[in-house]
């Protein structure tokens, strides 16, 4: 069924491209040819890897910080009440504003780009993990206390497995959000990466290259889902019937 659906999608695309018959929508075949050429010249792998590197670094920082802060806020009502408004403010700052401010304040450097992505993603992770922490099973936490579980043991064996669905939710929504933000970050202030290349193709009105790069990136995200996230899910939920 998924193969059939993909074939139908390609057929609709081909039909539309033939019907329009201009440069705004190239056929799948043209896009495939451009994709192959970009791969062979090494241009696509290089820019894709630069974007992926930024994605991995900013995603890791945002998840690590977000999970830690989320757990602390979820477990401490006073701190949560104090920082709640801060979270609302950061959640509502447009991504573009954060990116521009980071570039203005820290210059057009790699660290500013990473910081801008982290600031955009961090509040989402914090809120998701905080909500998860609020729903922790108090009975199990009491059991851990009365059997003198260490902090590490409580975190690894009692808290973390309960937060797993929230972490996976934050991971999935995070990946989807971060790569879109990274493209804007690269478009505005980097000289490599997918965003920079897409900006270049836009100026040249090269729709085939834009689509080829987009397909490559979506394929990579799908691979991350299939090869990392799904097996992680399966392993963590093996105790369920």
Binding site for another protein (CB under 8 A): 139-140, 142-143, 145-149, 153, 157-158, 161, 236, 239-241
Choice between 85 and 139, CB closer to another protein: 139
Could you tell me the smallest distance in angstroms from the CB atom of residue 140 to another protein? 6
CB atoms within 10 A of CB 69: 19
Nearer of residues 28 and 165 to another protein, judged by Cβ: 165
> Taking the complex as a whole, how short is the minimal distance between the CB of residue 95 and another protein, in angstroms?
36
3-state secondary structure of 94: coil
In angstroms, what is the minimal distance from the CB of 155 to another protein? Answer: 13
Q: What is the largest CA-CA distance in the chain?
A: 73
Under the phi-then-psi rule, with left for phi > 0, alpha for psi from -120 to 50, and beta for the rest, what region is 42? Answer: left
Q: Would you say 151 or 241 has its CB closer to another protein?
A: 241
Please check whether residue 233 is in contact with residue 168, taking contact to mean a CB–CB distance below 8 angstroms: yes
Residue 89 Cβ vs another protein, minimum distance, rounded to whole Å: 36
Cα dist. 226→3, 27, 208, 231 in Å? 16, 28, 27, 7
Q: Which is nearer to another protein, 3 or 241 (CB)?
A: 241
């Amino acid at each position: 069924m998924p193969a059939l659906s993909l074939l139908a999608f390609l057929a609709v695309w081909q039909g539309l491209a033939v019907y329009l018959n201009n440069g705004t929508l190239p056929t799948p075949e043209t896009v495939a040819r451009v994709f192959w050429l970009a791969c062979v010249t090494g241009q696509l792998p290089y820019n894709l890897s630069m974007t992926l590197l930024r994605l991995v670094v900013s995603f890791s920082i945002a998840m690590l910080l977000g999970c830690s802060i989320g757990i602390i806020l979820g477990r401490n009502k006073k701190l949560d009440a104090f920082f709640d408004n801060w979270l609302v403010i950061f959640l509502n700052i447009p991504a573009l504003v954060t990116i521009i401010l980071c570039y203005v304040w820290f210059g057009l450097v790699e660290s500013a780009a990473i910081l801008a992505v982290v600031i955009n993603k961090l509040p989402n992770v914090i809120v998701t993990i905080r909500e998860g922490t609020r729903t922790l099973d108090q009975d199990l936490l009491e059991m851990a206390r009365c059997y003198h579980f260490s902090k590490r043991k409580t975190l690894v064996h009692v808290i973390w497995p309960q937060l797993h669905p929230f972490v996976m939710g934050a991971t999935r929504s995070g990946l989807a959000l971060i790569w879109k933000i990274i493209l804007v970050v690269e478009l505005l202030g980097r000289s490599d990466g997918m965003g920079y290349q897409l900006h270049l193709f836009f100026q040249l009105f090269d729709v085939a290259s834009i689509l080829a790069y987009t397909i490559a990136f979506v394929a990579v995200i799908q691979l991350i889902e299939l090869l990392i996230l799904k097996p992680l899910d399966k392993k963590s939920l093996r105790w369920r019937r």
